[in-house]
Structure 1
Amino acid sequence: MRTLKSIILSTSLLTVSLLAVTACKNSEFLEVTPRSQGDSQIALTTAEGVDAAVNGIYDRLQNVVLYGRDMLAVSEALSDNAQFTNKSGRLANENRNIQNNTFGTATAAGATWQSAYFAINQANLILDNIGGVAFADTAQRNRLQGQAYFLRALLYHDLSRIYAYDPGVAVATQDRGGVPLLLVGVADQSKITLPARPAVADVYKQIYADLQSSIASFSRTNANAPAYGNRQAAQALFSRVALYNKDYATAVKYATDAIAGTIKLSPNASYVGGWRAPQNPESLFEIQYIVAENIGVNTSLQTTYTTLVRTGDRTATGGFGDLVPTTAFINDLEAEKSATGTVLDIRRQLYELGTAGRGAAFIECTKFLGRNGTINLDNIPVIRVSELYLNRAEANYNLGNTTEALADLNVIRQRCGLPASTVTGAPLLAEIMRQERLEFGFEGHRWFDLKRTGQNVVKAAAQGGGLVYTDNRILAPIPVNELSTNKSIQQNFGY
């Protein structure tokens, strides 16, 4: 994806989830192509070093425990959208909501927490040092600075929605606060701190500040979209964050700002085709891969979601198809039909019968089907334009602006081949939430949408029967290594 990469090759054990570089002489912060070595302070004294360090954060987002798989697939497994097939055994425990089987825990204990905080520390080091670096032009400095703020905001929001209650729906007797805020880079062990968990409101305050700084740093051209953070993506993320925060006026403002940007909603005729292109034309921000970064047949999104190698061909078996749509999800996609019985919703075309090469065939999600032309190699949309309309619809509904909410709902419905709706009152909100579920099926939204709205997770008995919202498993456990090192942090209730 990128020619410059920043990685950590020698680190101490994770302490307070900081990226603590060891004091040994051969410690490296950067691996640059062509190869260049040095500690973090040396690496971040040049424009090339800062650029490499920013690229390193994107590389971390590619990890299986972040956007390579878990931020999407584990969310679907935990929610009511998906059922496990047991063809490899992967994600079965997550789908049953078994204690301690959640984000990153099946791959490595605490891996999601650790990977996210490593990336946050890289952003912190960039922001600490960028002011003293000479750049060829101000635009480059601003672009890299905007990306560091944008990525830190994204990561803190992801950590918060995994490990903490969302604003307005906390279970008071079980609430242990947000996630630790680390805002100064750690380049050596002397900089390690042991912070407690702040209030969730303080975490959101920091995310707001980062997004405001990001938007102010970016130009209006979106020249790097969607492979890199950009102004339109930062506005869109702000609309998402504000919706979680129940700050509906802010959610409307930033959704509106982002809708006015250069990347637009795909029309009906090209929507399905957009999922077959290497880069989804609706993507405001996506994680992009090159062939050498292929996650492979065990844990890529393609192998997780489907046995198919290519759409329409059931003669060739590729992946495992570990996680497939529930019957209820498919029935909902097929609920609206023409007078002759034809399914109206074009999104149904993104789900088709898989192969029998690894056992019984299921209807599978084909949003990720080696779209880069190589099996198991897919760019991952993190934020798409359609989210803006549904964010704004939900926010406007909660503000009492039901006419505006219905108008945005119908933008999505009609794009998908459905007739305009005329619902009002509570059914309007229910239809907005339904469209959020169908539009973002298998893109990692559903678990978080249920959680941020305080809803129970309803599942069949074979999937563990679901969870009531007050169940402790709504939150992931804080990693044990973190607790053993930092005595200021409280474990989440029930673990």
Structure 2
Amino acid sequence: MKSIIKLIPVLGLSVWLYSCANFLDAKPDNTLAHPSTLKDLRAILDNENAVNDVYPSTLAMASDEFYMTYKGYAQMTQRIQDIYIWEDQGIDAGWTTSYKAISLANVVLEALERIKGGDQRLRNQLEGEALFLRGWMFFHLAQIYCPHFSIHDTGEGLGIVLRMDSSSEVKIGRSSLKETYRQIFGDLNRALELLPEESEYITRPAKLACYGALARAYLTVEDFVAAEEMVDKLLKRKDELWDYNTVSGVGLYPFVLADNIELIYYGRAASTGEFIYNPNTYIDPALYSLYEEHDLRKNLYYTAGAEGMKFRGYYHGKLADYFGGIGMDEMYLIKAECAARREDTPTGLRYLNTLLQHRYNSDYFNSLTILDSDILLRRTLEERRKQLVCRGLRWQDLRRLNRTKSLETTIHREMEIDGELKVYTLEPNSLRYVFLIPYLATEMGHYEQNPR
């Protein structure tokens, strides 16, 4: 890419557009829902606050990467408390911001049909970006409000509301799971056809971002052949890894956005800071124990706190929110996992070792020697836990891996309340892996609620 460190400044039109959205469908008001020029559409899609900073905080707060003491828990809002102990009561867990972004994408797509002329390459790029945004937001909503879907399933369960226009007057119900993922892949694959090879700004998606998004989505639905195909296409165009031996680790937060050559597409969950940065939130001890002595991530990612290890290794160099974008490290891990699953141990091991060579102290690193594909798979999944911390990916991994008995995980939250130990448990494949649609949305849209 020509530049991976340029972020687009927030533009006035789209800030106003974003703020005028309503709760249910996030439709901008009538005066702003009809942009009249391609420049207007460029401004809408270049609003970082509305497009790049809206990833659902639920994906980080509900997973097993972090734990919170009761003191910290008591300071949280009701919404965060409910998410943390998986006792949601229909309070918004990511619904509103995601549908606001989807509405903006639909405004752009509708305007492109109405606005005639202009540079065709720009028109293609704008359409591709809008489709990418819509499909990518649909995907994230499905990880919160839908049961896990696999290509091996019938897909008849409840999907999301596939809002395909910007009109809040049109009443539609929830789709099926199969329809939801058909739309996700349809939007992303169409975007792939339209987007340019490179983008001037990392906040704008290009083909690389689409390959990465499709790789993650295909991995999630257990289409490992397609996931590996997307990674292979990406790696032909970009394959750089950041050598952590070159990161000084000096300062409060060691990773600097301008230095991160692994970034493919920029996104973050700006609303996560209240939870992650709280002085009473710590990294899970079981996760921290996985790091070996000469693993550079052990010191770059964490620092000692009053009662445990605090996370500091924000991948995008931004304080106290999780990185919701796409990075090269994730692609190497997808490649290794897919190769292991098709029992191509040499290929999977090569990609895994290449990543680890850039993560361990070079004076002590010895390449792994693994001959069994099952062992390689388990080590690769362990490295996903260790590498992709605070990226919103662990929740998705828990959901998909819980389908395999030998890879199941039961999560516990323990808090001492008034001298008594209170334990909350999330069993594998529990209904609580699917959050309730906000009750205000169900009242306004008459959507079928998720079971409990």
- Matched residue of 2:389: which SS? coil
1:227 matches 2:234: no
Q: Which residue of 2 is the match for residue 389 of structure 1?
A: 332
Distance 1:79 1:206, change over 3 A: same
Q: Which residue of 2 is the match for residue 368 of structure 1?
A: 314
The partner residue of 1:90 within 76, 90, 102 is 76
Distance 1:150 1:178, change over 3 A: same
Distance 1:411 1:95, change over 3 A: farther
The root-mean-square deviation of aligned C-alpha atoms, in Å, is: 3.1
- Matched residue of 2:333: which SS? helix
Q: Which residue of 1 is the match for residue 39 of structure 2?
A: 48
How many Å apart are 1:285 and its aligned residue? 0.9
Q: Which residue of 1 is the match for residue 345 of structure 2?
A: 402
How many Å apart are 1:228 and its aligned residue? 1.5
Does the Cα contact within 8 Å between 1:84 and 1:323 map onto a contact in 2? yes
User: Which TM-score applies when normalising by structure 1?
Assistant: 0.76
Does the Cα contact within 8 Å between 1:244 and 1:452 map onto a contact in 2? yes
Q: How does 1:146-185 map to 2 (within 5 A)?
A: 146-168=128-150, 176-185=157-166
Give the whole-Å Cα distance in 2 for the aligned partners of 1:241 and 1:115.
20
Identity %: 19
1:243 matches 2:227: no
Q: How does 1:256-295 map to 2 (within 5 A)?
A: 256-262=232-238, 264-270=240-246, 275-279=254-258, 280-287=260-267
1:490 matches 2:448: yes
How many Å apart are 1:79 and its aligned residue? 2.1
- Matched residue of 1:332: which SS? coil
How many Å apart are 1:206 and its aligned residue? 1.2
Q: Which residue of 2 is the match for residue 337 of structure 1?
A: none
How many Å apart are 1:430 and its aligned residue? 1.0
How many Å apart are 1:218 and its aligned residue? 1.6
Give the whole-Å Cα distance in 2 for the aligned partners of 1:445 and 1:156.
16
Give 1:217's aligned amino acid.
L
Deviations 1:80-107 (A, max 9, x none): 2211133473387357524107xxx7xx
Give the whole-Å Cα distance in 2 for the aligned partners of 1:470 and 1:170.
16
How many Å apart are 1:184 and its aligned residue? 2.3
Does the Cα contact within 8 Å between 2:72 and 2:281 map onto a contact in 1? no
1:434 matches 2:392: no
- Matched residue of 2:105: which SS? helix
User: Which TM-score applies when normalising by structure 2?
Assistant: 0.82
How many Å apart are 1:61 and its aligned residue? 4.2
1:443 matches 2:391: yes
Does the Cα contact within 8 Å between 1:81 and 1:441 map onto a contact in 2? yes
Q: Which residue of 1 is the match for residue 283 of structure 2?
A: 325
Give the whole-Å Cα distance in 1 for the aligned partners of 2:223 and 2:130.
24
Give the whole-Å Cα distance in 2 for the aligned partners of 1:451 and 1:365.
23
1:197 matches 2:160: no
Q: Which residue of 2 is the match for residue 480 of structure 1?
A: 439
Does the Cα contact within 8 Å between 1:176 and 1:491 map onto a contact in 2? no
Q: Which residue of 2 is the match for residue 347 of structure 1?
A: 297
Give the whole-Å Cα distance in 2 for the aligned partners of 1:461 and 1:40.
47
Give 1:481's aligned amino acid.
L
1:421 matches 2:356: no
1:128 matches 2:110: yes
Deviations 1:152-183 (A, max 9, x none): 111010000111122239999x9841111121
Mind listing any 5+ residue stretches in structure 2 that lack a counterpart? 1-7, 403-407, 416-421
Deviations 1:40-84 (A, max 9, x none): 22x2x201111122124x422455xx33xx53xx43432222111
Q: Which residue of 1 is the match for residue 5 of structure 2?
A: none
Q: Which residue of 1 is the match for residue 188 of structure 2?
A: 211
Distance 1:483 1:136, change over 3 A: closer
Give the whole-Å Cα distance in 1 for the aligned partners of 2:19 and 2:302.
42
How many Å apart are 1:367 and its aligned residue? 1.9
Distance 1:435 1:121, change over 3 A: same
| Number of residue pairs matched by the alignment | 418
Give 1:482's aligned amino acid.
A
Does the Cα contact within 8 Å between 1:176 and 1:197 map onto a contact in 2? no
Does the Cα contact within 8 Å between 2:410 and 2:428 map onto a contact in 1? yes
- Matched residue of 1:459: which SS? strand
Deviations 1:168-226 (A, max 9, x none): 39999x9841111121232xx5xx332222221221111111111111112223333x2
